[in-house]
């Protein structure tokens, strides 16, 4: 999308909508929290049932314009907060516990389509990629960080085997002049991954993913968001998470696996006696992730990597989630790198 196009022209499909609705059964009413409101795809469907209330959260200003329309339509049943979902507990100062909390991770079609945001490697835009108000942008990361930190980010958060080479090439290029636009970064990556034509995926996919995750501290947000959301759910409350890449899925899978069975040790590095007895928080979880069907994938190609996992809460109290934070401390430490 360029500056003259309106967001209305962007098509947005809420991913795995039917599956989400069949799990959360909005017809039974109750309080729902849509932690990743985006364009309101899920919220709007839930609000069709008059016995529901929805709280929408999104860190992006862009979502506010969609939310305002819904707030006008349902002033008593819908409220929007522009905030990070890791703050969900602070936002929801309610006596009324939510029955369902949903996370649909990643980016909305609106964010990707707007070239001014710099999320897409397919169009020229500034190196930004901030979802909300952050402490740094991709411009800062690629122009200021040293080779060691840049390599770590690209290798670990992008699972990019050529991370070191790409980082070195970035440093070489920026020594002549700052790297400003997405297309410059794409050329740098293509220069390193010379055999890219052999592969189906765009050569910049992994590096862009790494940089986006880093500037938005997405994995720290995810771990804290899951812990906070789980603590808000009462017995039989449902936590639904749709994720789009392997790092997210590893965390979501690890979270449900560990907290649904107190005998599970999330990591061989954690001594057994450091695991609290009440660490199981879900009485039921998906063993295997649910995925979109062929029809949905052919209608909306972005849904192809979606994986949905959910859990049904028991009544154990949540503590600090220290076990899951320790298991993924490598990611958390990388996201703490200062720019």
Residue ranges binding ligand SAM (CB under 6 A):
12, 14, 36, 38-42, 57-60, 63, 84-85, 104, 106-108, 131, 221
Phi, psi of 56 (to 5 degrees): -105, 140
DSSP 157: I
Smallest separation, CB 16 to ligand SAM (Å): 10
Nearer to ligand SAM, 134 or 262 (CB): 134
Using the structure block, give the residue that is written with the tokens 């690629």: 142
Nearer to ligand SAM, 169 or 305 (CB): 305
Smallest separation, CB 268 to ligand SAM (Å): 29
Q: Are 68 and 75 in contact (CB under 8 A)?
A: no
Nearer to ligand SAM, 85 or 258 (CB): 85
Using the structure block, give the residue that is written with the tokens 């107190």: 262
Smallest separation, CB 168 to ligand SAM (Å): 30
Given the DSSP bridges, would you call strands 238-243 and 307-313 parallel, antiparallel or unpaired? antiparallel
CA gap 315, 234 in Å, rounded: 6
Nearer to ligand SAM, 85 or 139 (CB): 85
Smallest separation, CB 255 to ligand SAM (Å): 15
Nearer to ligand SAM, 13 or 181 (CB): 13
Nearer to ligand SAM, 216 or 316 (CB): 216
Smallest separation, CB 240 to ligand SAM (Å): 11
Smallest separation, CB 244 to ligand SAM (Å): 8
DSSP-derived secondary structure for 89-119: HHH---SS--SEEEEE-S--HHHHH-GGG--
Smallest separation, CB 42 to ligand SAM (Å): 5
Which position's Cβ is nearest ligand SAM?
A: 41
Torsion angle in degrees (nearest 10) through CA of 92, 82, 31, 230? -60
Nearer to ligand SAM, 220 or 316 (CB): 220
Going across the sheet that includes 307-313, the strands are 78-82, 52-58, 30-34, 100-104, 238-243, 307-313, 282-285
* Short-list 120, 157, 167, 139, CA closest to 248: 157
């Amino acid at each position: 999308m360029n500056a003259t196009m309106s967001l209305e022209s962007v098509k947005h499909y809420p991913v795995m909508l039917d599956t989400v609705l069949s799990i959360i059964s909005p017809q039974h009413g109750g309080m729902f929290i849509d932690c990743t409101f985006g364009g309101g795809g899920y919220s709007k469907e839930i609000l069709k049932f008059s016995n529901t209330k929805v709280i929408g959260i999104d860190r992006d200003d862009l979502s506010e314009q969609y939310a305002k329309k819904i707030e006008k339509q349902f002033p008593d049943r819908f409220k929007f907060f522009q905030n990070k979902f890791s703050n969900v507990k602070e936002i929801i100062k309610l006596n009324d516990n939510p029955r369902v909390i949903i996370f649909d991770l990643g980016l909305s079609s609106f964010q990707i389509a707007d070239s001014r945001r710099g999320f897409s490697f397919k169009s020229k835009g500034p190196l930004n990629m901030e979802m909300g108000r952050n402490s740094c942008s991709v411009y800062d990361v690629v122009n200021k960080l040293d080779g060691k930190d840049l390599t770590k980010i690209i290798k670990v958060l992008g699972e990019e085997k050529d991370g070191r080479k790409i980082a070195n090439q970035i440093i070489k290029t920026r020594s002549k002049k700052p790297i400003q636009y997405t297309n410059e970064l794409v050329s740098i990556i293509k220069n390193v991954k010379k055999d890219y034509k052999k592969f189906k995926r765009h050569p910049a996919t992994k590096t862009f993913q790494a940089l986006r995750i880093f500037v938005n501290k997405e994995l720290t947000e995810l771990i804290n968001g899951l812990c906070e959301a789980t603590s808000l759910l009462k017995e039989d409350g449902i936590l639904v998470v749709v994720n789009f890449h392997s790092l997210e899925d590893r965390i979501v899978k690890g979270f449900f696996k560990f907290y649904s069975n107190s005998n599970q040790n999330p990591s061989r590095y954690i001594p057994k006696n450091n695991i609290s007895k009440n660490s199981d928080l879900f009485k039921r979880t998906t063993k295997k992730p649910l995925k979109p069907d062929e029809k949905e994938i052919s209608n909306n190609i972005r849904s192809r990597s979606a994986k949905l996992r959910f859990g049904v809460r028991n009544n154990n109290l949540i503590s600090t989630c220290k076990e899951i934070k320790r298991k993924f401390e490598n990611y958390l430490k990388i996201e703490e790198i200062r720019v």
